[in-house]
Structure 1
Amino acid sequence: MFVRTTYATGDPATLDEAVQALTTEGRRQLAGEPGFRGAGMFADRELGKLVTGTWWEDEAAMRASADRMEKVRAQVLSSFATTVTVDNWEAAVAARAESVPEGARFRLVRLDLAPSDADSLVDAFENGVLPRLRTMTGFLGGSLLVDRAAGRGAVGTLYADKDSLAASRSPVAALRGEATSRARATLRSLEEFEVVMVESPPPS
């Protein structure tokens, strides 16, 4: 599968208005797109940051939706966003959560690496990091997204609540160090968010 991410920042006071628009009009538009396979939305209400990810069955479906969704995005984020960054990714490893309770939390890690090391990063996450994450209390799911040509990666992980997210920080820091060393990757950012919505793939 493939994923389009949007990273928007703006006035925290208007973030809820954007969330409302995304979960109504934005969601309605997405549901009608061929190849749409689910979405997630994550917020930092204190700083005014909003991250979304939309899942697509293949790269062709993701790219075919680009122009239509750009218009929708501009409309629903107009009251909030002062900066918007959109990226397209391959979902190299996807262990998606079966269900996400209210109060769940999300951690986002972004990485830089040589394009030739992308497979090493995939192996490190799939066979090293993910099995150990699955043993942690409150872990719900996680995915590794890669842009092989640009030499970039993004890891998103879901936790059941604020306490399990906090408890994971020390052991996950060690895992992160091992994986980045193995894949010769450089950490670009580490952020944590409130989960606003995680939507499973629509019925086929």
Structure 2
Amino acid sequence: MHARSTSIMGDSSQVDACIRYVRDDVMPTVTAMDGCLGLSLLANRETGRCIATTSWLSEEAMQATDGVVSPLRERASELMAGEATVDEWEIAVMHREHDAQEGSWCRVTWLRCEPSEIESTIDFFRDSVLARMEGTDGFCSASFMVNRMTGECCGTTRFDTRADLEATREMAGGLRGERSRMGGVQFIDVDECELAIAHLRVPELV
């Protein structure tokens, strides 16, 4: 399973307009493409960051849509008055306690490791991060996506409410510290976002 994420940091006053554009124009177009399983959109209304992620049956199906998706991405960038960053991933872990609900909250963590450390980093997310988060109030799901060539990774944990997410900040920080002490990993960024569109449709991968 593969995914493409497009992140735009732009005008926070345009976040609702971006959500409408993705729901009304982007999602029907992209999900009709061969091999596309679905789409999700995360939004931080305070910073103006929006992250759209599409899921695909194969890397070939995903890459075959580049030319069609580019104009949609350019329109979103114009709408948000921000530059788009695009990443392509392999979905290494996907676990849901229950289906995604719009209005739930996600913590997204970006990190980088040596490509040779990808498997151990996946194992840490599955065996430590997911195992610890599963026992917290309001936990909904967790995913971990990787680029095996560059060593870049993106982990997401989702909770029923913003309060549930905030209650796990200390635990999440401790897990990042634990992984940092093991060496070989650089944490790049962490963000907390609302799940504005929930239609990713990735099967269980643990």
TM-score, reference length from structure 1: 0.92
Q: Structure 1: 5+ residue runs without aligned partners?
A: none
* 1:176 to 2:176 alignment: yes
Q: 1:126 to 1:5 in 2, by over 3 A?
A: same
CA contact (8 A) 1:95 1:141 kept: yes
Partner residue, 1:160: 160
Deviation at residue 128 of structure 1 after TM alignment:
2.1
Between 1:52-61 and 1:93-102, the stretch displaced more is: 93-102
How many residues were matched structurally? 202
Aligned pairs for 1:145-156 (under 5 A) are 145-156=145-156
Q: Residues 82-104 of structure 1, C-alpha deviation per residue, up to 9 Å, x if partnerless?
A: 21100101111111464233431
Partner residue, 1:129: 129
Q: Structure 2: 5+ residue runs without aligned partners?
A: none
CA RMSD of aligned residues (A): 1.7
Q: Residues 121-170 of structure 1, C-alpha deviation per residue, up to 9 Å, x if partnerless?
A: 01111222212211111111111111111121111111110110011111
Alignment-mate amino acid for residue 121 of structure 1: T
SS at match of 1:149: coil
CA contact (8 A) 1:38 1:55 kept: yes
* 1:50 to 2:50 alignment: yes
Between 1:72-81 and 1:112-121, the stretch displaced more is: 72-81
Deviation at residue 176 of structure 1 after TM alignment:
2.3
Determine the C-alpha separation between the residues in 1 that align with 2:131 and 2:153: 19
Partner residue, 1:195: 195
Q: 1:88 to 1:67 in 2, by over 3 A?
A: same
Determine the C-alpha separation between the residues in 2 that align with 1:30 and 1:96: 24
SS at match of 1:101: coil
TM-score, reference length from structure 2: 0.91
What percent identity do the matched residue pairs reach?
A: 28
Deviation at residue 200 of structure 1 after TM alignment:
4.4
Determine the C-alpha separation between the residues in 1 that align with 2:29 and 2:162: 31
Determine the C-alpha separation between the residues in 2 that align with 1:51 and 1:116: 28
